[in-house]
C-alpha cells in the first residue's frame, strides 16, 4: 500500500515542509507517492533523493477530480501534507468523499499509533488514537528534519479531464513581494512597539536581508498600521515555527507567545530585563534595540 | 438575505491552559469569549445589515448551556436570532456535520465562520462543512462586500492576496481586517433579552479518532543571556548549531 504526500510548490520551488512530509511518510515502510503542480520535470526527477517513489504532476490543485482518481486508483489510505490552506481544503474534500479521518497540527506520529497534535495555539498537546486504517495528517512545520534517500522517482503527467464547475472569478491577484514568505522562512525577524515607529524598521529589514529571513511584527504594531496585517504573528495572527525567531522590542504577551512558541530557537532583545518574553527565550540580550541590532548587523559582516 | 455566523466559545486569549486530574480542560477561573475570528465575522455581518436592513443574521454555536451568555452577547451585538446545538464540540468532523445538517435544513445565502477556533485550532470546520454541502468555501477572507447576488472578497493565499467575485451560496472563514470588533451598546443588550435562542439536539457522527489524553508542551531549557557588548558569543553559537 502506498502513501501520498502533497507537494507544495511556489515559484517553481518546492517547500521544505513538503520534504519533511516525505521523510515522515518514509517511516511507514510503504512506497511514497507525491502530487505536485511543479512541471519542471528535470527537477521533479531528482526528488527520489527526497524519498519519493512516484510523483504525479497535475495542472492545478483545484482539479479535485484528478486528485480523487489518483487516490482511488492507487488505493491510497494515508496522506501526509503540509498545513497550507490549499491542502486543508483538498484534505477536507478527501475526508468527506472517502470518509478518512483528518487531523490538523500534527506534531508526532508514534509507532504505537498515538498521534500528537498541537492545540490551544501551542499551549498544549492532544494525544489521539485512530481506529481506522486510513488517515490524513496535516503536519506542522519543522517537526522533523528532512532526510536524503537513495530512490528513483517515476513521473506521471496527469491530463486534466474535467473542469469542475468554477463558480467564482479572480478579479485581481497581488503577489507577496518579499522573496521569503513568513510561513516558509527558516529565520524570522520580528519587532514590536519597542521600535517606537514605522520609520525605524529599516534596520529590521536590513537584518532580515542579511540573514535571508522574513520580517514579522506584534499585534499592536499591525493594529497601529506601522506594518501590514499579514506580518502579524500571534494567537490571532499567523502561527509560525521557524528555526530561529528574533523578537526585538516585543514584551512577550501570552497571545504573542502562543503564535511563536514552537520556534526552534528564540532570541529576545529587549531593554526591559523583566519583559515576560525572556521566560520563553533560548537566548536573551538585555539592551536597547537601536544599539544591539546595528551591532549584530556589523558583526555579521 | 440570510446570513449565518457560526461562533465558537473559547478561553480568553490570555488564559493559562491546564488540565484536571481526569484529563479534561480545566475551566476553573477561565473567562470564555466568542472566538476572536468569529467576532470579526459577526461584526462584518452586522455592518452589512446596517447598510441593508433586509439582511437577517442568525448565529450558531455547538456547545453546552454555559455558552448561552455569549450567544446573548452576539444578539446584543446585532444578530437577530441564536441557535445552539446542545453538545460539547467534540472534534472538527462532528462540528462540521452538525453545522452542515443545520444549514441544509435552514437554507442560508452566506455562512461566515472564523478562520479557525483558537482552542483546538484545526482550521477545518469551514472546509469540511463546504465539502459536506458542496458549497464553495474561501479562507482566510479579509474583505467582504455584497453586490446583489454576488460577493466581492479578498482572500489570502500562500502566494499573496486574491480579489474574487463569487456567487452565493458561500462559506467564508474570516480574519482581520474584515471588520473592527463591536462592543454591544445598552440598547442592544436590552433588545437581546427578548430575541429568540433555540436549542437543537445534535446529530450523532461516527469517528474513528479517540482522544487519549492532553499534556502540556515540554518545558523550555534555561535561557542563556548574552552580553550586548559581546554579541560574537551568540553569532558563534548560532553558527555551531548550523543555523
Model confidence pLDDT, tens digit, residues B16-53: 899 998 888 999 999 999 999 999 999 999 999 999 99
Interface test with B, best of A8, A62, A94, A96 (most B CBs within 10 A): A96
User: B204 and B88 in contact (C-beta within 8 Å)?
Assistant: no
Between chains, do B217 and A287 touch, taking CB under 8 Å as contact?
Answer: no
pLDDT of res. A301: 76
Nearest to B131 among A93, A125, A296 (CB): A93
Nearest to B208 among A93, A132, A168 (CB): A132
Domains of chain B: 2-209 (3.40.50.620)
What Rg, from alpha-carbon coordinates, does chain A have?
A: 21
Q: What residues of chain B lie within 8 A of the CB of A126, using their CB?
A: 120, 211, 214
Nearest to B13 among A230, A255, A282 (CB): A255
Task: Tell me A48's DSSP state.
Answer: G
What is the rounded CA–CA span in Å between residue A31 and residue A33? 6
Nearest CA among B226, B10, B242 for reference residue A268: B226
Cα B146 to chain centroid distance, Å, stands at: 21
Interface test with B, best of A10, A85, A104 (most B CBs within 10 A): A85
Between chains, do A125 and B214 touch, taking CB under 8 Å as contact?
Answer: yes
User: A189 and A180 in contact (C-beta within 8 Å)?
Assistant: no
Phi, psi angles (nearest 5°) of residue B129: -60, -45
Region A4-10 average pLDDT: 93
Q: Say if strands B2-6 and B110-114 run parallel, antiparallel, or are unpaired.
A: parallel
Between chains, do B176 and A103 touch, taking CB under 8 Å as contact?
Answer: no
Q: Which residues, listed in sequence order, are joined to residue A80 by a DSSP beta bridge? A: A5, A137
Judged against a pLDDT cut of 70, whether residue B242 lies above it is answered with no
What is the rounded CA–CA span in Å between residue A130 and residue A74? 22
Nearest to B132 among A96, A104, A258 (CB): A96
| 3 state DSSP class of B161 | strand
CA distances from B49 to A157, B3, B77, B80, B111 (A): 49, 10, 12, 10, 14
Query: Per-residue pLDDT tens for B163-189?
Result: 999 999 999 999 988 998 999 999 999
User: A182 and A208 in contact (C-beta within 8 Å)?
Assistant: no
Give the predicted TM-score (pTM) of the model. 0.91
Query: Per-residue pLDDT tens for A194-230?
Result: 999 999 999 999 999 999 899 999 999 999 999 988 8
Q: Residue-wise over B55-90: b if at least 16 C-beta within 10 A, else e?
A: bbbbbbbbbeeebbebbbbbbbbbbbbbbbbebebb
pLDDT of res. A176: 72
What is the rounded CA–CA span in Å between residue A24 and residue B193? 53
Greater confidence (B233 vs A108) lies with A108
Between chains, do B210 and A175 touch, taking CB under 8 Å as contact?
Answer: no
Question: What's the length of chain A?
Answer: 301
Query: Per-residue pLDDT tens for A103-141?
Result: 999 999 998 889 999 999 888 999 999 999 999 999 998
What is the rounded CA–CA span in Å between residue B145 and residue B40? 14
SS (H, E, C) B137-160: EEEEEEEEEEECCEEEEEEECCCE
Nearest CA among A185, A300, A291, A210 for reference residue B235: A300
Judged against a pLDDT cut of 90, whether residue A184 lies above it is answered with no
Most confident among A16-25, A160-169, A177-186 (mean pLDDT): A16-25
Between chains, do B228 and A285 touch, taking CB under 8 Å as contact?
Answer: yes
Indicate the average pLDDT of chain B.
Answer: 93
Percentage of chain B beyond pLDDT 70 is 99
pLDDT of res. A65: 92
Fold: same for A3-157 and A187-300:
yes
Size of interface A-B (CB pairs under 8 A): 213
pLDDT of res. A179: 67
Judged against a pLDDT cut of 80, whether residue B105 lies above it is answered with yes
| 3 state DSSP class of B83 | strand
Judged against a pLDDT cut of 90, whether residue A177 lies above it is answered with no
CA trace torsion B24, B100, B200, B110 (10° rounding): 110
Between chains, do B118 and A120 touch, taking CB under 8 Å as contact?
Answer: yes
Query: Per-residue pLDDT tens for A62-113?
Result: 889 999 999 999 999 999 999 999 999 999 999 999 999 999 999 999 988 8
Between chains, do A120 and B209 touch, taking CB under 8 Å as contact?
Answer: no
Architecture field, domain A3-157 = 3-Layer(aba) Sandwich (3.40)
Nearest to A282 among B158, B215, B221 (CB): B221
Taking the CA of residue B190 and the nearest CA in chain A, the distance in Å comes to 30
Percentage of chain B beyond pLDDT 90 is 79
Q: Which residues, listed in sequence order, are joined to residue A286 by a DSSP beta bridge? A: A270
What is the rounded CA–CA span in Å between residue A141 and residue A63? 25
Nearest CA among B155, B117, B112, B153 for reference residue B130: B112
In this prediction, residue B214 has a pLDDT band, given cuts at 50, 70 and 90, of very high
Q: Which residues, listed in sequence order, are joined to residue A56 by a DSSP beta bridge? A: A35, A156
Q: Taking the domains of chain A in order of start, what are their residue ranges?
A: 3-157, 187-300
Taking the CA of residue B196 and the nearest CA in chain A, the distance in Å comes to 30
Phi-psi region of A196 (alpha: psi -120 to 50; beta: other; left: phi over 0): left
Taking the CA of residue B213 and the nearest CA in chain A, the distance in Å comes to 5
- Residue A88: closest C-alpha in chain B: B124
What is the rounded CA–CA span in Å between residue A107 and residue A88? 16
Region B207-230 average pLDDT: 88
pLDDT of res. B146: 94
What is the rounded CA–CA span in Å between residue A288 and residue A291? 5
Judged against a pLDDT cut of 80, whether residue B239 lies above it is answered with no
Judged against a pLDDT cut of 70, whether residue A162 lies above it is answered with no
Fold of A187-300: Rossmann fold (3.40.50)
Q: What residues of chain B lie within 8 A of the CB of A83, using their CB?
A: 123
Indicate the average pLDDT of chain A.
Answer: 92
In this prediction, residue A164 has a pLDDT band, given cuts at 50, 70 and 90, of low
Count of C-beta atoms within a 10 Å radius of residue A125:
19
Judged against a pLDDT cut of 80, whether residue A248 lies above it is answered with yes
pLDDT of res. A178: 66
Amino acid at each position: 500500500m502506498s502513501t501520498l504526500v502533497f507537494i507544495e510548490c511556489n515559484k517553481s520551488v518546492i517547500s521544505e515542509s513538503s520534504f519533511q512530509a516525505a521523510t515522515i511518510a518514509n517511516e511507514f515502510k510503504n512506497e511514497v507517492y507525491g502530487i505536485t503542480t511543479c512541471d519542471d520535470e528535470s527537477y521533479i526527477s531528482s526528488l527520489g533523493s527526497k524519498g519519493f517513489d512516484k510523483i504525479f504532476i497535475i495542472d492545478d490543485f483545484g482539479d479535485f477530480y484528478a486528485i480523487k482518481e489518483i487516490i482511488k486508483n492507487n488505493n491510497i489510505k494515508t496522506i501526509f501534507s503540509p498545513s497550507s490552506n490549499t491542502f486543508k481544503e483538498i484534505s477536507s474534500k478527501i475526508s468527506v468523499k472517502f470518509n478518512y479521518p483528518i487531523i490538523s497540527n500534527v506534531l508526532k506520529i508514534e509507532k504505537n499509533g498515538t498521534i500528537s497534535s498541537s492545540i490551544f495555539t501551542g499551549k498544549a498537546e492532544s494525544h489521539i488514537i485512530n481506529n481506522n486504517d486510513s488517515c490524513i495528517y496535516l503536519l506542522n512545520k519543522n517537526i522533523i528534519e528532512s532526510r536524503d534517500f537513495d530512490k528513483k522517482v517515476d513521473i506521471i503527467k496527469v491530463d486534466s479531464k474535467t473542469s469542475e464547475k468554477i463558480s467564482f472569478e479572480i478579479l485581481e491577484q497581488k503577489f507577496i513581494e518579499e522573496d521569503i514568505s513568513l510561513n516558509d522562512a527558516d529565520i524570522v525577524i520580528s519587532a514590536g512597539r519597542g521600535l517606537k515607529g514605522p520609520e525605524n524598521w529599516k534596520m529590521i529589514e536590513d537584518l532580515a536581508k542579511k540573514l535571508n529571513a522574513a520580517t514579522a511584527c506584534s499585534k499592536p504594531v499591525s493594529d497601529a498600521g506601522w506594518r501590514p496585517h499579514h506580518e502579524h504573528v500571534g494567537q490571532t495572527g499567523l502561527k509560525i515555527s521557524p528555526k530561529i525567531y528574533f523578537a526585538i522590542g516585543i514584551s512577550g504577551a501570552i497571545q504573542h507567545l502562543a503564535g511563536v512558541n514552537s520556534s526552534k530557537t528564540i532570541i529576545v532583545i529587549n531593554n526591559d530585563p523583566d519583559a515576560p518574553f525572556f521566560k520563553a527565550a533560548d537566548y536573551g540580550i538585555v539592551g536597547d534595540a537601536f544599539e544591539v541590532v546595528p551591532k549584530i548587523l556589523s558583526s555579521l559582516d | 438575505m440570510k446570513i449565518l455566523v457560526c461562533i465558537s466559545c473559547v478561553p480568553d486569549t490570555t488564559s493559562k491552559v491546564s488540565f484536571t486530574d481526569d484529563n479534561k480542560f480545566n475551566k476553573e477561573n477561565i473567562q470564555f469569549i466568542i472566538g476572536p475570528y468569529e467576532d470579526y465575522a459577526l461584526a462584518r455581518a452586522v455592518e452589512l445589515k446596517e447598510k441593508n436592513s433586509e439582511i437577517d443574521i442568525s448565529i450558531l454555536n455547538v456547545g453546552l448551556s454555559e455558552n448561552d451568555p455569549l450567544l446573548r452577547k452576539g444578539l446584543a451585538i446585532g444578530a437577530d436570532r441564536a441557535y445552539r446545538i446542545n453538545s460539547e464540540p467534540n472534534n472538527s468532523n462532528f462540528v462540521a456535520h452538525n453545522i452542515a445538517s443545520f444549514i441544509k435544513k435552514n437554507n442560508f445565502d452566506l455562512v461566515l465562520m472564523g478562520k479557525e477556533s483558537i482552542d483546538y485550532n484545526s482550521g477545518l470546520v469551514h472546509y469540511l462543512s463546504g465539502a459536506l454541502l458542496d458549497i464553495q468555501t474561501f479562507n482566510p477572507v479579509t474583505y467582504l462586500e455584497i453586490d446583489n447576488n454576488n460577493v466581492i472578497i479578498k482572500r489570502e493565499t500562500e502566494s499573496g492576496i486574491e480579489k474574487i467575485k463569487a456567487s452565493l451560496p458561500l462559506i467564508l472563514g474570516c480574519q482581520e481586517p474584515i471588520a473592527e470588533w463591536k462592543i454591544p451598546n445598552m440598547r442592544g443588550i436590552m433588545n437581546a433579552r427578548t430575541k429568540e435562542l433555540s436549542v437543537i439536539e445534535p446529530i450523532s457522527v461516527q469517528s474513528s479518532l479517540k482522544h487519549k489524553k492532553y499534556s502540556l508542551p515540554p518545558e523550555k531549557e534555561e535561557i542563556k543571556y548574552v552580553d550586548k557588548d559581546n554579541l560574537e558569543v551568540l553569532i558563534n553559537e548560532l553558527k555551531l548549531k548550523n543555523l
